[in-house]
Structure 1
Amino acid sequence: MKKLPLLLFVALTSVLCSQEATPRRPMALLIMLDGMRADALFNTHMPNLHALMKGEWHPDYKGAFSDCAQALTDAKPSSATNHAAIATGVTATKHRVFNNGQTKDGNFKEWPSWLGRLADTKPQLKTYFLYTWGENDHTAPHPKVKGKRGPSDAANGRELAQLLATKDAPEATMIFVDWPDAGGHGTGFYPYGTSFVRAQMQSDMLVGNLMKAIASRETFAQEDWLLMITADHGGMSTSHGMWGGQASTIPIVMAGRHISQGQLAGIPNHYDLPVTALAHFGLDVSTMKLDGKVIGKQVQNPAKRPLKQGLQAYFTFDDKEAKNLAGTNIKATLLGGEDTASGLGNGFADGFLRVPGFAGHGVALEGTEKLQFENKTNFSITMWVRLPESQIGDPAIISNKDWNSGQNPGFVLNAGKRGDGAPWTGVGFNYARSGKVNRADLNTFHIEPREWVFYAVVLQANGAAYVYQGRRDGNLHWIAEHAEDIVINTGMKWHIGQDGTGNYKAPLNGDIDDLAIWNRAITFDDVRKIYQAGRNGMSLGDILE
């Protein structure tokens, strides 16, 4: 008689263990925010996306993000070509949509959308694609995938939120949101216009409503959700489609039960997300010959280090002789001598460095030609720059290369450059590369004439080059590009107001202050801290730990 309770206990235990071992039902939502720049995610009040990034949406879910993800490189950063890539997981070379108006002729039979692949391999799953732009009628259509062009982003958001809260919700959903793109075209992607900022906030509210709907599901605890948010492109002024980083540096945000918390490793692409979604549903993506890769597990969370660590040169230019407050052997030598005859000034006066725009003037940083960098290529520069409205030519602000060719080894932060599609001349960053692409040109930052503006260059361990601009309105903008193969060493001294030769034909006309150089990559938080300190009237020296 005593054996029955024991047998009952064993049976109940087996049932409970079986229930715990039952895999959760995979579910996925991919959201594309058309025209959203990576820096907008950090400069705009977007509490829902920030909660996803920080892993604060739900206790069982972690968040990952990238602030340097990239749009396509085999087609200019416009809408249709990148929409097709986000849908299919392949680049333009395969899907054959290179510009707007070409989607109807895309190669989607060979390269279907991730929703179409799921519909073919797992026909029991429900799939849904929701959008507003008419050209997406032709973005990888599939007879088994429900697609709908809704009347507006607001209406689409409401419909999808209602649907996701029900038992009839599709297991795999993709929604394209046009608000940010419309806002950027209206008043500017960069510098931010009011309609662009408002569009970011509207988009965040839409995302938040979808998050709430998902979390409210009766079966949420038995489900394994993967949330993915990205953009097709960014923009500059009121347009996009230009090379140089302003339109191609985009964000990625992910949340899931199996995501690792932190910044995604390396430089991901938006077309990694559909591939990641397919893997989430158990498909073997290694056999599909897709261009994207599975992301979300590998993250990089740089350790916080004192700002003094790795600081090789720091000049406040407060004295007639520029002292290197970093305490290393790097010295600043004035080229061209003090200029008093012209009345324009040259040298260390009034608490900053003035470079008057005459041939042979500038500063040579003695000893920089021997700099050794962490991980061979990691370094950082921060400074405040004041420039007139225009320059003669494209002078160097700081450089260690022969700027007569952008393919020459080394780097240059330059002024007076008009990059591809730029409506203005401004500040850009060039460096040589050793791979199939022999140079990189990140541009063009808009100049605020005769105002002090913050700039930073950081070569990160993730293989990305970041160029930051901190403007008077408090927004810290940036663009990024691959730099795993940067050719940094030239044997030349770093120069201020000149290229590495010291004899570039176009001399700089401008002022420099609070210049710092590290032989390592400082973090985004470091860059923002230095920028905000400057806005509050403090120098780097005031915040050095």
Structure 2
Amino acid sequence: MRGSFRSSNIFRLGVLCTFLLIGHLKIQAQNKVLIIGIDGTRPDALLTADTPNLDGLWQNGAYSFRAKTDPLSWSGVCWTSMLTGVWKEKHKVYSNSYENPNVKEYPHFFRRAREQKPNLKTYSIANWKPVHNILQENDAVEAVHRKTDAAVTKQVVRTLKNTDVDVLFLHLDNVDHAGHKYGYALENKKYISAIEKTDKKVGEIIKALKKRKDYEKENWLILVSTDHGGSGKGHGKDTPEHTTIFYIASGKEVTQGEILKEVNVVDVAVTALKHLEIDIKEEWKLDGKPSGLK
């Protein structure tokens, strides 16, 4: 009887240890980030368009359609603010020419992440090549420029399928092209159509993400936003049509529903760093904050 009792206890202990191990493995799922940047997309136009893939992200995630970008609403200024987590007064990019970016003091968030976790595999795949102007040596495992959104999407799908990627930023530009050519307006069918076509590319990317071999063991945060809006056939002004943007956060670690507090373009990088479990240091003087996370 004594031997049987001892065997029973050993069995129970083994079962308990197994459950604890499984729980530990679940807790240790590796945090990863996918940032989808859709250039020149007004939030009201996004809500007008037929976008089932983007709708699926914001309706099941955290979102704001009242977020704000830099008052100087040029692409170079705003993408730099998004990817550094600070406003132009710090990163010193005041136009699309990137004359003298202050990347020493305020680098791309890839560098912040890799300083603490050097083995993080960071990728940037962009239609608009100047987005990469603030990347320094070793910030990204790979920074790829593709001339069309279709080529960007193909490269992103290939990377997600074949690569042990931890952080991926991608930039799609067709919506902004449509705005400049036809006008940034809700009643402009070609502008709305460009958003709908981009949504299909987002669907391809999300599908590829979920088909990753180890997807169930990974904890992905998907962030989707834009650099600016527009009116007429341009942007760059400090007006609501130009500076109001959207922000979407989707994943297991987000608080579902509309984000009622203020959200800014600089929050994207800081939210990504937070999810990657990077120690955000006060000395970095970041202007953004984590938005939408639990």
TM-score (norm 2): 0.93
Q: Is the 8 A contact 2:126 2:172 kept in 1?
A: yes
Determine what percentage of the aligned residue pairs are the same residue.
28
Provide the residue aligned with 1:20 in structure 2. Answer: 23
TM-superposition CA deviations, 1:367-401 (whole Å, max 9, x none): xxxxxxxxxxxxxxxxxxxxxxxxxxxxxxxxxxx
Provide the residue aligned with 1:237 in structure 2. Answer: 232
| 1:51 is aligned to 2:56 | yes
**Structure 2 counterpart of 1:72, from 70, 74, 92:** 70
Q: Which amino acid aligns with 2:45?
A: A
Provide the residue aligned with 1:85 in structure 2. Answer: 81
Provide the residue aligned with 1:393 in structure 2. Answer: none
| 1:100 is aligned to 2:99 | no
Q: Give the direction of change, closer, same or farther, for the CA distance of 1:141–1:132 in structure 2 (3 Å limit).
A: farther
Provide the residue aligned with 1:295 in structure 2. Answer: 291
How far, CA to CA, are the matches of 2:120 and 2:7 in structure 1? Answer: 43
Q: Which amino acid aligns with 1:195?
A: K
TM-superposition CA deviations, 1:507-540 (whole Å, max 9, x none): xxxxxxxxxxxxxxxxxxxxxxxxxxxxxxxxxx
Partner of 2:240, secondary structure, is coil
How far, CA to CA, are the matches of 2:231 and 2:171 in structure 1? Answer: 21
Q: Which amino acid aligns with 1:19?
A: I
Q: Is the 8 A contact 1:77 1:242 kept in 2?
A: yes
Higher helix share: 2
Alignment of 1:391-540 (within 5 A): none
Provide the residue aligned with 2:264 in structure 1. Answer: 269
Q: Which amino acid aligns with 1:225?
A: W
**Structure 2 counterpart of 1:136, from 131, 139, 148:** 131
Provide the residue aligned with 2:254 in structure 1. Answer: 259
* Structure 2, gaps ≥5 residues long: none
Q: Which amino acid aligns with 1:83?
A: W
For the pair shown, which has the larger CA radius of gyration, 1 or 2? 1
Provide the residue aligned with 2:153 in structure 1. Answer: 157
Partner of 1:105, secondary structure, is coil
How far, CA to CA, are the matches of 1:191 and 1:124 in structure 2? Answer: 44
Provide the residue aligned with 1:190 in structure 2. Answer: 185
Provide the residue aligned with 1:215 in structure 2. Answer: 210
Higher strand share: 1
Provide the residue aligned with 2:47 in structure 1. Answer: 42
How far, CA to CA, are the matches of 2:39 and 2:31 in structure 1? Answer: 26
Instruction: Tell me the matched-pair count.
Output: 287
Provide the residue aligned with 2:9 in structure 1. Answer: 6
Provide the residue aligned with 1:364 in structure 2. Answer: none
How far, CA to CA, are the matches of 1:237 and 1:192 in structure 2? Answer: 12
How far, CA to CA, are the matches of 1:38 and 1:93 in structure 2? Answer: 26
Q: Is the 8 A contact 2:92 2:102 kept in 1?
A: yes
Q: Give the direction of change, closer, same or farther, for the CA distance of 1:293–1:201 in structure 2 (3 Å limit).
A: same
Following TM superposition, where does structure 1 have runs of at least 4 consecutive aligned residues deviating by more than 6 angstroms?
none
Q: Is the 8 A contact 1:87 1:140 kept in 2?
A: no
Q: Which amino acid aligns with 2:33?
A: A
TM-score (norm 1): 0.51
Q: Give the direction of change, closer, same or farther, for the CA distance of 1:192–1:113 in structure 2 (3 Å limit).
A: farther
